[in-house]
Structure 1
Amino acid sequence: MRPLQPIPVSVLTGFLGSGKTTLLNRILKDPNLRDTAVIINEFGDVGIDHLLVEQSSDGVIELSDGCLCCTVRGELVDTLADLVDRLQTGRIKTLARVVIETTGLADPAPVLHAVMAHPVLMQNYRLDGVITAVDAVNGEHTLDQHEEAIKQVAVADRIVLTKTDLIDPASKEFALFTARLMRLNPGAPQISSHDEDEIVAKLFDCGLYDPATKTADVARWLRDEAYHPRHDHAHDVNRHDARIKAFTLKHDKPIDPGALEMFIDLLRSSQGEQLLRMKGIVALADDPERPVVIHGVQSIFHPPARLPGWPDADRTTRLVVITRDLDESYVNRLFAAFSGRPQVDTPDRQALEDNPLSIPGHKL
């Protein structure tokens, strides 16, 4: 027996000193987060952060053997499986949500893979979203110095700006900083941890399915309108930011299912490490009135899910993509080759299958 509805899992990340624990303390006091299990990661042999979490020990599970992105991945899977077992056997009455707080040094991707790729966990849990805390005071310096912080921002579904009470929100510096975050991840709303009264409503239930209506809310989940072409060259191209690209692939005709499968398989097998995230809605030629939604993190993809119909009047295939060290032109040309989308100098499809790195102008 498994839960009637998959349990939403949120991953709370952010670099060292970003204020994750303070944010966690705050949101756990919200009555809307009752029946939430919290998995807290400790980096090192001695746990410290969990002492600051004002939550009963029955609701907090601490992983103290190492970083969630490496040494305790197996333990994380076991912990999530044990939560389901406790729910099924009545040892806990209700489990409405799971929040996983990573260490500040963690790459969120392996944590997401643990939820997205494990066959048993996939039946019982669904990824709700990635919440990334960013220090509004020191965030600029952190992004300059640490690539991990860049990636944490790039894969986020929601960006929480902490310590905004310590800065001037009308300053030019803050405006440039928030613009930088938007370049890294146009689709992630930026929310102040201090100014937002309904912060829980803004941070959670940001996945594909709206728990209130039990239907797919593609527009809220995809936010593809935020990925319009940008020609902002004012930022320093020598920063880590220059390695990150965020863009949209669009096509106005149904795509052959096999071609879509080959496109995704080729992209994730050859460029999985560089493909930080991809999600979208696709019209397939076998049933264009029932689109599929896809979601992947690096080389791990959810099985495509069919929707009963289009959520709105827009029947366009839209894929939002965030990459690192991977040219947008490469992904565009690969997509054009398999989708049949007209494009100048589109390479031969068979050549792509034989050698996906053969595209002129492709750089890593």
Structure 2
Amino acid sequence: MQPIPVTVLTGYLGAGKTTLLNRILTEKHGKKYAVIVNEFGEIGIDNDLVVGADEEVFEMNNGCICCTVRGDLIRILGGLMKRKDKFDAILIETTGLADPAPVAQTFFVDDEVRQRAKLDAIVTVVDAKHLLQRLADSHEAEEQIAFADIILLNKTDLVSPDELAAVEKRIRSINAYAKLHHTQKCGIEIDKVLGRGAFDLDRILELEPEFLGEDHHHHDDDVQSYSFKTMRPLSHERFQKWMGDLVAVKGPDILRSKGILAFNDEPRRFVFQGVHMLLDGDLQLPWRADEPRESRLVFIGRNLNREELQAGFERCIA
């Protein structure tokens, strides 16, 4: 049996990982992928943002994929590889706060996984507009670049040519070997990120000699995740005003915001995404008749006050 190729999609919060994953899943490639999505926080949203593979998405949340849920990752991989319906490849989208090294480590330290799966590449998506700021305040952002085999320098339309050159120079100072692509909304041919056979264990061991030994991964403990949900319909106008006021004051501290919202008198779900002061959202699929119209909202950042966010969210109820 040939080992199943595994691609790890990583990158800091809001860089565009889910956008890339959806591009892969909606391409007409005739292949079947199993998808593992990990989130940071107690309410899962990313699973519902992944399109076209509902029955093959395996979700883990409330923990970093590189630490507390590694056992879950090994169990899910083991279960996938024993199924009768076979997959062409497995895609793992890590939380934006994950150090990819321990994720890659899983494919070498667990015997069953090592025999049945092969790490094909670590693909890192970086946000051209916010990367320099992330590198200044996040160890994980630097690790994600250092361990990458392929880098998508995304959101290039949001920066000037000089800013883009500075960002690329900084990336190359961390990782001179990875294949680098400039993208907007992660627009790239799928064969440039999948099936590359790009993971090089020797290079990783040179970068981190203890890679196959004990895991000494540390988290940025300043980052917190707050999640809110309600079954009561929201007012679109109130939500827009609240978010506008909120990012005007707390934007620098909000690393990531995202939600799936049910507005009154609106049959479609509103999918909301934010990175610092940049907010985006649109109406997407209709709510199904058999599913609860539950609004879920997540904030990830520093110096955030749960009670203030809760009160603001409740003021949006219609």
User: What's the CA shift for 1:14?
Assistant: 0.5
| Aligned-partner Cα distance in 2 for 1:276–1:187 | 9
What are the within-5 Å matches in structure 2 for residues 165-244 of structure 1?
165-168=157-160, 171-194=161-184, 198-207=188-197
User: What's the CA shift for 1:129?
Assistant: 0.8
- Cross-structure match for 1:95: 87
Identity in percent: 40
- RMSD in angstroms over aligned alpha carbons? 2.5
| Aligned-partner Cα distance in 2 for 1:207–1:128 | 5
Question: What one-letter code is carried by the residue in structure 1 that aligns with 2:119?
Answer: L
User: What's the CA shift for 1:113?
Assistant: 1.2
SS in 1 for 2:64: coil
User: What's the CA shift for 1:197?
Assistant: 6.3
- Contact 2:16–2:185 (8 Å) recurs in 1: no
- Cross-structure match for 1:241: none
Question: What one-letter code is carried by the residue in structure 2 that aligns with 1:184?
Answer: I
Matched, 1:119 2:132: no
Determine which of 147, 152, 155 is the counterpart of 1:155: 147
Gaps of 5+ in 1: 209-220, 223-263, 265-274, 280-294, 302-364
Question: What one-letter code is carried by the residue in structure 2 that aligns with 1:46?
Answer: I
- Contact 1:277–1:298 (8 Å) recurs in 2: no
Matched, 1:299 2:211: yes
User: What's the CA shift for 1:194?
Assistant: 2.9
- Contact 1:276–1:297 (8 Å) recurs in 2: no
Determine which of 73, 76, 80 is the counterpart of 2:73: 76
Determine which of 3, 6, 10 is the counterpart of 1:9: 6
- Cross-structure match for 1:53: 50
Classify 1:196/1:19 alpha carbon distance in 2 versus 1 (closer, same or farther; 3 Å): closer
- Contact 1:41–1:102 (8 Å) recurs in 2: yes
- Contact 2:153–2:180 (8 Å) recurs in 1: yes
Residues 209-239 of structure 1: per-residue CA shift (max 9 Å, x gap)? xxxxxxxxxxxx76xxxxxxxxxxxxxxxxx
- Contact 2:205–2:211 (8 Å) recurs in 1: no
User: What's the CA shift for 1:40?
Assistant: 0.1
Question: What one-letter code is carried by the residue in structure 2 that aligns with 1:107?
Answer: D
- Contact 2:19–2:185 (8 Å) recurs in 1: no
SS in 2 for 1:278: helix
Q: State the TM-score, normalizing by the size of structure 2.
A: 0.62
Question: What one-letter code is carried by the residue in structure 1 that aligns with 2:168?
Answer: T
- Contact 1:133–1:161 (8 Å) recurs in 2: yes
| Aligned-partner Cα distance in 1 for 2:124–2:210 | 18
User: What's the CA shift for 1:43?
Assistant: 1.4
Q: State the TM-score, normalizing by the size of structure 1.
A: 0.54
User: What's the CA shift for 1:69?
Assistant: 0.9
Classify 1:175/1:36 alpha carbon distance in 2 versus 1 (closer, same or farther; 3 Å): same
Consecutive aligned runs of 4 or more in structure 1 exceeding 4 Å deviation: 195-198
SS in 2 for 1:277: helix
What are the within-5 Å matches in structure 2 for residues 301-316 of structure 1?
none
Question: What one-letter code is carried by the residue in structure 1 that aligns with 2:103?
Answer: V
| Aligned-partner Cα distance in 1 for 2:48–2:137 | 29
- Contact 1:39–1:61 (8 Å) recurs in 2: yes
Gaps of 5+ in 2: 214-318
Question: What one-letter code is carried by the residue in structure 2 that aligns with 1:108?
Answer: P
Classify 1:175/1:277 alpha carbon distance in 2 versus 1 (closer, same or farther; 3 Å): same
SS in 2 for 1:177: helix
Question: What one-letter code is carried by the residue in structure 1 that aligns with 2:20?
Answer: L
Question: What one-letter code is carried by the residue in structure 1 that aligns with 2:205?
Answer: M
Matched, 1:130 2:127: no
Classify 1:297/1:21 alpha carbon distance in 2 versus 1 (closer, same or farther; 3 Å): farther
- Contact 2:204–2:211 (8 Å) recurs in 1: no
Question: What one-letter code is carried by the residue in structure 2 that aligns with 1:25?
Answer: N
SS in 2 for 1:100: strand
Classify 1:33/1:207 alpha carbon distance in 2 versus 1 (closer, same or farther; 3 Å): farther
Classify 1:15/1:61 alpha carbon distance in 2 versus 1 (closer, same or farther; 3 Å): same
- Cross-structure match for 1:143: 135
Residues 57-107 of structure 1: per-residue CA shift (max 9 Å, x gap)? 212111124210111100100000000111xxx2x2x31100111101111
User: What's the CA shift for 1:109?
Assistant: 1.2
Question: What one-letter code is carried by the residue in structure 1 that aligns with 2:152?
Answer: V
Higher RCO (C-alpha 8 Å, min separation 6): 2
